[in-house]
Chains A and B, each alone.
Chain A
């Protein structure tokens, strides 16, 4: 069972690493990078929302903190974005703990609303914070191709491999933690907090751990994004839309599953980019309609998401195979 999960992961990784060899067009490479980025972002969301059951619609806060931290460190103090990513992630994790401390006493939709308000507060603060660029944002000047400075202009491939590394690390982390006491306790907190408490689970502690892990990886992704697009402002990294976008792949793919975020991202991101590219001005909003419809569809018809759908198909396939074998014999 364990080997099956890991070997599947390895196979997917090999595929993912090989893909850019066949895709040379920068437009499609961009789609690839964004897909992997949102896989990672949503996987981070999944840790807190899917496994631990604490639905956060304020992840943009951590995304933005990561982005701003590494950007400011790089543009003003010359700190390598590679270090900036780590620091951004750590800072985001600290903020996650600080935010979680008052908010985790709330349950269900009360908690969701709290995450929205907190993130909006962050957005508003950065919008008016002159030192951090306020509404104008911060531009990252190109200093030359460099791994240490994490800047590349001639090819998008280094960015691609960078985000794949981040996503792969996160995937391994999720795989490991889902099988550990942490993962089990998270699922217990999600399933029934009262029962969990009566079985010795210190709920608050585990929620905080989930928040820290989720925020950390989200922050790292934010730093990556800043280096990739070379320009950040509150509207692009801290806005509510970003928080929504981060949660959607997992909702579509399967909340609380290992592959859900990836499946959902693979469906949503290319679809949205292509729709936007081909429908452009007159079709503005179409991608939102499709997003929304998919989410409504999943939530009403198959809450387990695409992963659940695939599991059902597998079960049906196995049953059919067994029947055929039985009849054959």
Chain B
């Protein structure tokens, strides 16, 4: 176990961690805003990946070039899903939270079925892209260029999200709605609009991650489910509703996963993060920065 291989593991764990962080951020945003866990979050990611794949096939444009398009489409998807389905579920008379769980669940199943129908269960991968499978050598550590680019874009995406929340009026309205859903109407904040935009941004965030993932990861109908679980664990670790928690959580999860793969064996790499999750549940249920 040389220094280089340890550094390799840490580097790739860090890169994946940043991608996990952005995926988790979208989830955390929606949850923090309206107390809904989007069980279709993984399928959102899958949708973004398939969109990228499809457009790449049609237009032979690199995923990076497709980024703004897919992000915009994913934003729209988020808003549409909120407007059509989520809003209805929130109005259920009894056990609202159960209706919310199953509505997003049903959506997830539908979206996966649709992907299977349109693209078949075969594994797909992006063929035309600028970075292809090149890697760069950084002090003896080989970093896959697509993965590096993905991590970089995700980090930028995360910073963008942070700036949006912390520095704009919209972000303040978002925070206010999160803190007191009932009171915001009194100060002229259109709650429904905020919710819709929240879903849109959450969709766009996971969309960006999806585009970047598609450039080096296999695309298949079940791909979302795996990442969704990691996202849930990341958010549970970082704390539901906390963006900073999603970032720190994502990095920790990425590292734990990579280290577990190295120490135990690659097929059991998830055991490490499951163990982390159980520890969080036992010792600090609200996560590092969460509100619970």
Contact = CB atoms under 8 A, between A and B. Distances in A.
Complex: A in contact with B (CB within 8 Å): yes
Contacts of A301: 88
B274 interface: yes
A315 interface: no
A286 B110 CA distance: 9
Contacts of B106: 291-299
Given A113-B236, A286-B117, A289-B117, A121 B99 contact: no
Contacts of A147: none
Interface string A264-296: 000000000000000000011111111111111
Judged by DSSP, the binding face of B is: helix
Contact of B103 (A103, A106, A127, A300): A300
Contacts of A296: 85, 103, 106-107, 110
Interface string B97-132: 111111101111111111111001100000000000
Contacts of A263: none
Most buried by B among A112, A289, A291, A300: A300
Contacts of B100: 299
Nearest to B120: A284
Interface string B238-264: 001000000000000000000000000
Given A289-B110, A303-B94, A117 B88 contact: no
A251 B106 CA distance: 10
A292 B98 contact: no
Interface in B133-185: none
A322 to B, nearest CB: 25
Given A102-B281, A124-B274, A53 B113 contact: no
Contacts of B285: 105-106, 110
A296 B43 CA distance: 15
A103 B281 contact: yes
Nearest to B36: A109
A9 B89 CA distance: 32
Contacts of B103: 295-296, 299-300
Given A109-B97, A121-B271, A299-B106, A289 B37 contact: no
Interface in B201-228: 221, 225
Interface residues of A, number: 45
Interface in A96-124: 102-103, 105-106, 108-110, 112-114, 116-117, 120-121, 124
A94 interface: no
A113 B28 CA distance: 14
Interface in A294-316: 294-301, 303
A124 B101 contact: no
A306 B117 CA distance: 28
B116 A285 contact: yes
Interface residues of B, number: 49
B112 A285 contact: yes
Given A102-B281, A255-B98, A284 B116 contact: yes
Given A102-B281, A291-B109, A298-B102, A303 B92 contact: yes
Contact of B278 (A117, A285, A292, A293): A117
A289 B113 contact: yes
B186 interface: no
Most buried by B among A110, A255, A294: A110
Given A113-B37, A124-B271, A299-B106, A285 B232 contact: no
Nearest to A283: B117
Contacts of B88: 300-301
A285 B274 contact: no
B8 interface: no
B102 A121 contact: no
Contacts of B110: 288-289, 291-293, 296
B221 A285 contact: yes
B10 interface: no
Contacts of A289: 109-110, 113-114, 117
A284 B271 contact: no
Contact of B268 (A128, A190, A291, A298): A128
12 contacts: A55-B101, A105-B281, A114-B281, A117-B229, A124-B274, A125-B271, A128-B265, A190-B95, A285-B221, A289-B117, A291-B109, A293-B110
Given A295-B105, A295-B109, A299-B89, 7 more contacts: A106-B285, A108-B97, A284-B116, A295-B103, A297-B106, A300-B89, A300-B99
Interface of B: 37, 85, 88-89, 92-95, 97-103, 105-117, 120-121, 221, 225, 229, 232-233, 236, 240, 265, 267-268, 270-271, 274, 277-278, 281-282, 285, 292
